[in-house]
Amino acid sequence: MREHFHYGQDHLTVDTTIQLAKGIIKGVFSNETVQRIKKSEKDVQDIVESKRTVYGVNTGFGILANKAISEEDTRTLQYKILQSHSVGVGKPIPTEIAKIMLITKLHALAQGYSSVQFTTLQRIHWHIENDVIPLVPEKGSVGASGDLAPLSHLFLPLIGLGQVMYKGQIVPTDQVYLAENLEPITLGPKEGLALINGTQFILSYAVKGVERFFNCLEIADIIGAMSLESLQGTKAPFDPRLHELRPFRGNQLVAQRLQTLLKDSEIMESHVDCDRVQDPYSLRCMPQVHGAARNAWLHLKELTEIELNSVTDNPIIFDSHDTISGGNFHGQPLALPLDYACFAAAELGNIADRRCYLLLEGKFGLPMLLMNDVGLNSGFMIPQYTTAALVTENKTLCFPASADSVPTSLGQEDHVSMGSISGRKLYQILENLEYILAIELMSACQAIEFRRPLKSSVLLEEAHEFVRRQVSFASEDRVFADDIKAIKEMVSDYSFVKHMLKTAEKHQINLHQNHTNFHLHI
């Protein structure tokens, strides 16, 4: 694993971004990058001195683009833009996402097309390296002229305003600077605009969405295989020959994973000659449904990594005589795949809920509601109510935010992406999905014990054992919310998937054979 990442020079991936945010990798500036940044800084100074009119350097913003700003007011203009655009509302976004915003913005600015002072980039770097993370309200961006409101809040601390998370506490920036013997930055021409123009709010939710969604996809295959074992389903629909006839890559990966997860299972071998012709769709069609979600995930990952290495502010300064005022800040390229990912994640929960229901029906040798003594006990009936509620909540979150547009800036910004809402919706859907998967995992672990003394495959037995270290078999009713919480934590902190990957490696089992594009390190 690399030790350093060079901002503005190296290629940024989702994996690398997460590692930077966790402090596993340290971000640095190369000499070449510093020189490029300083040249861009000089270019904008030359523009100011030449009195050539360039949007956002010596003009107002948005509908005020035709308002000239005097040379002596160009710095004041940048200070005021951070003040005036800090209009976000709602709860603060997760600190990790705010930190990813800093990382992704720093990488974009360090490419040298934004005319930001190197001292400003150094201060942003200081915030990242010292985990002094600004508080950013969750609502207020329409995702068009960049994520204006959240980015304004993100960079208020540069000018001594706003609040930050400092040593685990929310503290006013001026108090932190006093404690750290620092002074606010004096912004130069264009700097304020460069800081708040861009898609880093949308992008950071996309980065985190790619990571969390991958974890859910990995888990869904494992739990789906456990549910299939419990219901004495067949692995015939996962035959690679079948999927060669319809070769979607995600489908083929899921089919291969299910074949691998079920290999050498005693439970599977015990009913090979049964008279069942077909399994229900939620078992039989896992390659098609989970696979389609994999394809949506890959699309989001690929577009997110393009955006991670893009320059998305405005105007772009190629040199002091060559500037372009364009639309690289518009969030549509990520808004659409984020909405697509919402649908895919919601469907992954939908099919998991159907398997939860199947496990309760009392068919194929399982007791009704997964308990022997029901009547006095409700068994696992009510946890499925929760999955049903979460599935429906996710459906309501599937309205595509990117299908809407409300004009702003008195019509100057007459089409907006609403991609910030797409990103936030995906975050909530994934939270609900993690609970749904936790409940299916709890139910599948209960169900598979009714197949004893037969054993499943080495991987699925290890998955069962990992859960049983914290949640025991239920012979009678108890407060299942405690069990759900414990399993959800092992889902959402990635410990379940990490354990399964280590187990597969120990037994020299490849769960991503010939499908490396679909892999992510978590």
Point out the residues that are catalytic. 55
Structure tokens at 362: 């009392």
d(C-alpha 445, C-alpha 449), whole Å:
7
- Separation between Cα atoms, residue 73 and residue 141, nearest integer Å: 27
**Residue showing tokens 């976004």:** 93
Note the Cα 488 to chain centre separation in Å. 17
Count the residues in the chain.
522
| H or E stretch covering 28 | strand 26-28
Beta strands in 276-332 (DSSP E): 316-319, 322-324
Termini Cα distance of the chain: 13
Q: Crossing angle of helices 458-468/480-492, nearest 10°?
A: 120
Cα-to-chain-centroid distance, residue 341: 10
Instruction: Outline where DSSP puts E strands in 245-309.
Output: none
d(CA 198, CA 109): 10
The SS3 of residue 399 is: coil
8 A C-beta contact, residue 23 and residue 99: no
**Residues in contact with 16: Cβ distance below 8 Å, sequence separation at least 6, in sequence order:** 2, 5, 10, 25
